[in-house]
């Protein structure tokens, strides 16, 4: 344990927290610092400012439950060793936790003192090996991608300009080499994508996306690939204009991967049909193939990494088995759902459901509100920012999003708030003039955080706890600041009581 300098214990039970502290102390681990927080929001705020070696996590927290707690902890510190320590002896949750980024799942009362320390050592070693594997894969992939891209581009030029000057047999070999080089480039890109997503390195640029035009562009970009398999692609004419909140590039990647999968498993002469429909407050994008369907024994594993229905060396279809896993990870990050079903007459329909843009902010702020969670007023005329912050806070806060001072004043009259997040300039109106109105029904001042394109030179005082620049602060950092400020205010309130 010499290499372990800091352990972050996320535990809301004071007795269990004391037991862990005593366990470390009894083993003479005085050089290991144990930092204890009682909820996920405090953990995220701490991790935004500090590095830790191990996170010991109880997934039954007041503001994060089960697998959601594991995912949030892993997202907050993807480089830290994550160990779940819980009273829940649940094998399915344990398996999901390990897939979600945890290195071990320990049940309280079933593990002795020395066994706990041994488990922590093993978890740290597993994390180290995992990190080495990620670094190895990334290094090899990068070293391969550069020369392969050059080779593929060169072969493409030869095929396009000189194939007609070569003997037929040589031209055919050149075309085969070009196709295989493109396949290797796609394979390496898939491996790099999955590694980046699992390590938390992928940043999503969330904005308003017009679904149908982007789907049409993606279909056109994949027609050449489909023609190579003798397959047609058709967009259902019933596609209606609708917008979603997403990263445009990642959205296109979802459609591309679903198309690639459908094209490979459709017989020559068949067509792949893409549909877009609005279903209440969600948009469903469907990709239908005319293949042989998905074997029953393979269905539970279809979104796993490297999963192949035909895993033998002699399988007929190429690919790494990463495409659908990448789709699942992207859709999860976009707050949507992905699934599949048998198609009438044979084949399979894969679908992705994403929130409609018009309801995105309201949906993301309208989670079931747990008793006692903070209520936040967010004032900004940028709807993308409103949606992103509401989504990032999730169930940890009840967020009311407004885009003008008049609506903010009405919101103040209707309810109480623990914190306000404010843009300082909304056209001709200045939020600084609005600050005196920022009081609850008892007349007490409501604490605020400034989050604006400019104005970080604003002096912080008793009311303004932080002034952040949008150009220099990520949404994740803003959320960590919000959680830290709320935790600070809660401590002050407890001390006063």
pLDDT in tens, 362-412: 443 333 334 468 889 999 888 778 888 888 887 788 899 888 888 888 888
Q: Is residue 117 part of a domain?
A: no
Residue 363's pLDDT is what?
A: 41
Split at pLDDT 50, 70, 90, the class of 255 is very high
- The highest-confidence range among 6-15, 158-167, 189-198, by mean pLDDT, is 6-15
Residue 141 is part of which domain span? 131-198
Whether residues 214 and 350 share a domain: the answer is: yes
Of the chain, the percentage scoring pLDDT greater than 90 comes to 20
Whether residues 363 and 473 share a domain: the answer is: yes
Mean pLDDT of 439-444: 76
d(CA 485, CA 61): 19
Mean pLDDT of 139-153: 81
Res. 471: pLDDT tops 80: no
Number of domains composing the chain: 4
Mean pLDDT of 180-188: 82
Q: Is residue 116 part of a domain?
A: no
Mean pLDDT of 352-359: 79
Residue 367's pLDDT is what?
A: 36
Res. 315: pLDDT tops 50: no
Whether residues 329 and 270 share a domain: the answer is: yes
Mean pLDDT of 24-41: 79
Mean pLDDT over the full length of the chain: 82
Q: Is residue 228 part of a domain?
A: yes
- Which of 208-212, 226-230, 397-401, 429-433 is predicted least confidently? 429-433
Whether residues 293 and 327 share a domain: the answer is: yes
* Residue 212 or residue 387, greater confidence: 212
Mean pLDDT of 426-430: 58
What does the block give as tokens for 62? Answer: 């007041």
Q: Is residue 380 part of a domain?
A: yes
Q: Is residue 331 part of a domain?
A: yes
Whether residues 253 and 326 share a domain: the answer is: yes
Split at pLDDT 50, 70, 90, the class of 298 is confident
Res. 73: pLDDT tops 70: yes
Whether residues 336 and 363 share a domain: the answer is: no
Domain final residue, candidates 308, 331, 355: 355
Residue 476's pLDDT is what?
A: 74
Whether residues 319 and 223 share a domain: the answer is: yes
């Amino acid at each position: 344990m010499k290499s372990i300098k800091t352990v972050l214990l996320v535990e809301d039970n004071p007795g269990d927290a004391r037991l862990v502290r005593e366990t470390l102390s009894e083993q003479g681990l005085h050089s290991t610092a144990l930092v204890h927080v009682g909820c996920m929001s405090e953990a995220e705020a701490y991790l935004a400012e500090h590095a830790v070696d191990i996170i010991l996590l109880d997934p039954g927290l007041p503001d994060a439950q089960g697998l959601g707690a594991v995912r949030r902890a892993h997202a907050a510190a993807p480089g830290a060793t994550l160990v779940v320590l819980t009273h829940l002896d649940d094998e399915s949750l344990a398996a999901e936790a390990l897939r979600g980024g945890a290195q071990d799942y320990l049940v309280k009362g079933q593990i002795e003192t020395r066994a706990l320390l041994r488990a922590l050592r093993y978890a740290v070693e597993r994390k180290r090996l995992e990190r080495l594997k990620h670094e190895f894969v990334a290094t090899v992939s990068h070293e391969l991608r550069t020369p392969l891209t050059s080779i593929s581009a060169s072969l493409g030029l030869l095929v396009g300009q000189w194939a007609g000057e070569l003997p037929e047999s040589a031209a055919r070999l050149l075309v085969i080499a070009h196709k295989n080089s493109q396949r290797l480039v796609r394979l390496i890109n898939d491996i790099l994508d999955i590694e980046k997503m699992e390590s938390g390195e992928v940043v999503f640029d969330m904005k308003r996306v017009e679904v149908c035009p982007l789907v049409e562009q993606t279909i056109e970009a994949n027609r050449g690939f489909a023609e190579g398999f003798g397959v047609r692609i058709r967009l259902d004419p019933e596609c209606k204009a609708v917008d979603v909140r997403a990263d445009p590039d990642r959205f296109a990647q979802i459609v591309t991967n679903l198309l690639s999968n459908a094209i490979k498993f459709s017989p020559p002469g068949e067509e792949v049909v893409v549909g877009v429909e609005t279903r209440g407050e969600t948009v469903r994008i469907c990709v239908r193939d005319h293949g042989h369907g998905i074997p029953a024994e393979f269905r539970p594993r279809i979104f796993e990494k490297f999963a192949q229905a035909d895993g033998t060396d002699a399988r007929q279809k190429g690919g790494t088995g990463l495409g659908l896993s990448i789709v699942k990870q992207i859709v999860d990050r976009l707050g949507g759902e992905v699934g599949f079903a048998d198609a009438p007459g044979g084949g399979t329909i894969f679908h992705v459901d994403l929130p409609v843009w018009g309801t995105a902010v309201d949906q993301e702020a309208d989670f079931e509100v747990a008793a006692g969670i903070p209520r936040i007023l967010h004032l900004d005329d940028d709807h993308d920012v409103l949606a992103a912050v509401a989504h990032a806070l999730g169930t940890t806060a009840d967020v009311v999003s407004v885009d003008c001072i008049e609506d903010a004043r009405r919101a103040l009259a209707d309810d109480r708030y623990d914190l306000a997040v404010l843009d300082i300039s909304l056209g001709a109106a200045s939020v600084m003039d609005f600050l005196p109105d920022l009081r609850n029904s008892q007349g007490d001042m409501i604490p605020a955080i400034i989050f604006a394109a400019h104005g970080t030179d604003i002096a912080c005082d008793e009311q303004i706890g932080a002034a952040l620049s949008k150009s220099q602060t990520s949404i994740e950092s803003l959320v960590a600041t919000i959680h830290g400020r709320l935790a600070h205010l809660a401590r002050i309130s407890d001390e006063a009581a």
